[in-house]
């Protein structure tokens, strides 16, 4: 199993706790707790997926997949500027 930082996972857990606690309140406080919880879960999942994807795309020769003309962003992430019209 790949290792990743505990910070994104703790954001997801704290977000789920806020959503659960928010269900006990009514009105504005319920919405604030649930909104903050959903936001924390989304940020945690986004950071977790970005950190997991950062290690992918390296072949044994050490070059990045999709590498063009020696350019390398070093993060394994997709860049819109790398898309070219192949007509």
Using CA atoms, how far apart are residues 44 and 6, in angstroms rounded to an integer? Answer: 10
DSSP conformational letter for 51: H
Judge contact between 17 and 40, C-beta under 8 A: no
Taken in order 67, 69, 75, 78, the sign of the CA dihedral is negative
pLDDT at res. 29: 95
Taken in order 68, 73, 76, 80, the sign of the CA dihedral is negative
**How do the domains of the chain map onto residue ranges?**
1-53
The model's pLDDT over 20-73, given as tens digits with 9 standing for 90+, comes to: 999 999 999 999 999 999 999 999 999 888 887 766 555 545 554 554 544 454
Helices 6-22, 28-53: axis angle to 10 degrees equals 160
């Amino acid at each position: 199993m790949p290792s990743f930082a505990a910070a994104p996972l703790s954001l997801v857990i704290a977000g789920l706790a806020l959503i659960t606690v928010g269900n006990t309140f009514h009105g504005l406080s319920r919405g604030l707790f649930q909104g903050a919880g959903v936001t924390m879960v989304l940020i945690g999942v986004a950071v977790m997926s970005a950190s997991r994807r950062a290690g992918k795309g390296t072949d044994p020769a050490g070059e990045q997949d999709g590498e063009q003309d020696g350019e390398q962003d070093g993060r394994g992430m997709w860049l819109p500027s790398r898309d070219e019209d192949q007509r």
